[in-house]
Homo-oligomer: A and B are copies of this chain.
């Protein structure tokens, strides 16, 4: 466990290695965070939930870092407003790395003194450490998606790394996978780590359906665009149509059209769209409108979970038609970490699978990711279903 902790902590530093100090600072929108904040917040998570709880008379690294690096835990207290994370010049990047190192050392020391801790308490520490590791993996993914968002507004189109062209993807031949109707078990039943929102394994009844083995490609979405997809209200949900009209949207996020060619901004720079690549950065409204245009539909999260063993997944977060709601007998985790998932169960849609920037160990067929339907800055894609 401690090894996994150190590997994860190290990986965070590794993926930030190409950054210049300037890149650590800005926050271009409320829904993304600066790299410096991700560094500090993931560290604070271990300090707040483990060190400050299980070390007697623990003295915090800095009395104001809790205010700076708490994300949304009301039970812990006051914090920097969401949209002000990019205004903090201090602590410096260097100081935040020092903060990381200090906390890491104290966690290691805590484990080395394991024999001085009550077994039941140590078990709780392990549980929280595992949660913290998975929490940090989530932020590793957010690091990429947030950086991309921050960078794409810059007319200089900064390159994170020439090797980070992750928008590709070779599709195999398309095939429909039929799933018979019946009662199925869903939800996490294993013994490893999972989030509280996956628990409450339970039965559901599914109608018969078929699901595609492959995700939608850029070319398919270009066909939608060129068939007037963004101009045909009858394909859209009303709230999606309002956004399209008000913001005059006619292309997916990060796309540009010059002359008659399509381009997309990537972490490897601006690239001409390759038609065979897998479509990405699609919001729920676009996914749903595209499916309507095809006379098909998106899977529910349970259809996806049941069918998932029959296809390869892991390149895009796949929009489902399920709203993010509690499973039967859902229980929040006890304590402040109970604010992790449950309080967001309204007005969001479930995405299943994982994306090309999700850490491999942070991926399960029962994993329930969730975003508001207008969100496209994740590596989201579309898988289609027919009845």
- In angstroms, Cα B21 to Cα A54, docked, is 37
Q: Mark A333-352, 1 if CB is under 8 A from B, else 0.
A: 00000110001111101000
Interface size class of A (residues with CB under 8 A): 35 or more
B20 near A89: Cβ-Cβ < 8 Å: yes
A52 within 8 A of B: no
Within 8 A of B (CB), among A39-79: 64, 67-68, 72, 74-75
- Most chain-B CB neighbours within 10 Å: which of A158, A325, A343? A343
- In angstroms, Cα B26 to Cα A328, docked, is 45
Q: Mark A362-381, 1 if CB is under 8 A from B, else 0.
A: 00000000000100000000
Closest residue of B by beta carbon distance from A236: B343
Q: Mark A93-111, 1 if CB is under 8 A from B, else 0.
A: 1000000000000000000
- Chain B residues closer than 8 Å to A132, beta-carbon distance: none
A18 within 8 A of B: no
- Given known A25-B22, A347-B239, contact A323–B321 (CB-CB < 8 A): no
CB distance from A94 to the nearest CB of B (A): 9
A2 within 8 A of B: no
A88 near B204: Cβ-Cβ < 8 Å: no
A344 near B237: Cβ-Cβ < 8 Å: yes
A225 within 8 A of B: no
Q: Which one, B28, B64, B323, contacts A323 given CB within 8 A?
A: B323
- Chain B residues closer than 8 Å to A21, beta-carbon distance: 21-22
- Chain B residues closer than 8 Å to A155, beta-carbon distance: 64, 67-68, 80
- Chain B residues closer than 8 Å to A260, beta-carbon distance: none
Within 8 A of B (CB), among A209-248: 233-234, 236-241
B326 near A74: Cβ-Cβ < 8 Å: no
- Chain B residues closer than 8 Å to A325, beta-carbon distance: 321-323
A191 within 8 A of B: no
- In angstroms, Cα B202 to Cα A119, docked, is 50
A22 near B24: Cβ-Cβ < 8 Å: yes
A28 near B205: Cβ-Cβ < 8 Å: no
Interface residues of A (CB under 8 A from B): 20-26, 28, 64, 67-68, 72, 74-75, 80, 84, 86-93, 150-151, 153-156, 158, 183, 202-205, 207, 233-234, 236-241, 284-285, 288, 321-323, 325-326, 328-329, 338-339, 343-347, 349, 373, 387
